[in-house]
């Protein structure tokens, strides 16, 4: 009798255990299905608009491909041609100069304006709106404004300089001044974005640190250098990465303001890839240029990320 009771209890426990296992598997399956349902649309968008074009560009970069007609596999010919092309290296130098001129300037100005607007400055909202306004305009609109400002013959800047007896620079026919006009317009556009991001970062800086610094006799510059700059370092890292990526993607300003000229003085890598991929219909060569640009940006971002992680771990 006791053995029959024991066997029955074991069967009930086994049924119960099996039922619990089924319930857990069902819940896990439902959870997995729900997760895929939520992530599915975003995954499809990334695959359709990012991974598929990237894979297509890689495939084209190894082929002699035009807009129409069949393509022909050429191996590394597009890359050999690119690295022996003097205009490509001119575009690399121009992109590097543009990046070095715009990224530090826009970040430093944004930090200065953020500190200024974070203090007791009157009409802060008005100033924030005015400074941030260029970033909400389209790239083509800002480029047209830049053209009106820096046009060599009838531009506003040269008109104002002429009014005070100064001859304006040759913004369109001199390569250095043409690059300078692109840098000035880019800084004007980006400084508002840097300012807003820094304003958000400054809200996380404890105010008692400034009070302690003042009690120790620190002046405004020392508070800025010893308290503000170290504590907004993650924000600075974020802005450096974003601005460098933006600099390697600049196209609309170059297209509308200088068209890459005079000569190739303002031809950047994205504009160089556009010229071959769409104007000259050499999509294989243009894809190779675009792929190199992608790898450069990816490598820079990885190095910056590794450096920032090392700094955080070192600080911890």
Tell me the domains of the chain and their CATH numbers.
76-309 (1.10.3720.10)
Q: What pLDDT shows up at residue 116?
A: 86
Task: State mean pLDDT over 208-236.
Answer: 86
User: CA distances (Å), 167 to each of 145, 226, 277, in order?
Assistant: 21, 44, 39
Residue 201 burial by CB count (10 A; 0-12/13-18/19+): exposed, middle or buried? buried
Say yes or no to pLDDT of 314 above 50: yes
Task: State mean pLDDT over 23-49.
Answer: 85
pLDDT digits (tens, 9 = 90+) for 110-151: 999 988 888 766 777 788 788 888 888 887 888 888 888 888
> Would you state the structure tokens that stand for residue 141, as one six-digit string?
């609109």
Say which residue the tokens 């880019």 belong to.
186
Furthest CA-CA distance within the chain:
117
pLDDT digits (tens, 9 = 90+) for 62-116: 988 776 777 888 889 999 999 999 999 999 999 999 999 999 999 999 999 988 8
Which pLDDT band, with edges at 50, 70 and 90, does 1 fall under?
Answer: very low
Other CB atoms within 10 A of residue 270 CB: 21
Cα atoms in the 13 Å half-sphere on the side-chain side of 4? 1
> Would you state the structure tokens that stand for residue 63, as one six-digit string?
């082929």
pLDDT digits (tens, 9 = 90+) for 267-280: 999 999 998 888 88
Task: State mean pLDDT over 223-238.
Answer: 87
What percentage of the chain carries pLDDT values higher than 90? 22
> DSSP letter string over 152-184?
TTT-HHHHHHHHTT-PPP-TTT-HHHHHHHHHH
Q: What pLDDT shows up at residue 302?
A: 84
Most confident segment among 108-112, 149-153, 206-210, 302-306: 108-112
Say yes or no to pLDDT of 203 above 60: yes
């Amino acid at each position: 009798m006791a053995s029959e009771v024991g066997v029955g209890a074991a069967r009930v426990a086994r049924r119960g255990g099996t039922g619990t296992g089924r319930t857990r598997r069902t819940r896990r399956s439902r959870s997995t299905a729900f997760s895929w349902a939520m992530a599915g649309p975003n995954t499809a968008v990334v695959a359709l608009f990012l991974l598929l074009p990237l894979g297509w560009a890689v495939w084209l970069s190894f082929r002699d491909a035009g807009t129409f007609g069949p393509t022909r596999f050429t191996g590394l010919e597009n890359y050999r041609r690119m690295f022996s092309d003097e205009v490509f290296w001119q575009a690399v130098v121009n992109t590097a100069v543009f990046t070095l001129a715009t990224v530090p300037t826009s970040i430093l100005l944004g930090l200065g304006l953020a500190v200024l607007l974070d203090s007791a400055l009157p009409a802060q909202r008005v100033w924030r709106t005015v400074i941030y306004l260029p970033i909400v305009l389209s790239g083509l609109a800002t480029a047209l404004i830049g053209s009106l400002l820096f046009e060599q013959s009838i531009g506003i800047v040269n008109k104002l300089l002429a009014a005070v007896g100064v001859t304006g620079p040759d913004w369109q026919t001199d390569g250095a001044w043409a690059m300078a006009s692109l840098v000035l317009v880019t800084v004007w556009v980006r400084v508002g974005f840097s300012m807003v991001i820094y304003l958000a970062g400054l809200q996380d800086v404890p105010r008692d640190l400034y009070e302690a610094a003042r009690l120790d006799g620190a002046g405004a510059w020392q508070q800025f250098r010893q308290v503000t700059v170290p504590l907004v370092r993650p924000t600075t890292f974020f802005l450096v990465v974003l601005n460098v990526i933006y600099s390697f993607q600049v196209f609309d300003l170059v297209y509308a303001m200088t068209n890459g000229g005079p000569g190739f003085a303002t031809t950047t890598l994205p504009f160089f890839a556009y010229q071959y991929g769409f104007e000259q219909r050499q999509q294989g060569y243009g894809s190779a240029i675009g792929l190199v640009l992608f790898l450069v940006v990816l490598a820079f971002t990885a190095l910056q990320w590794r450096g920032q992680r090392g700094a955080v771990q070192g600080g911890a």
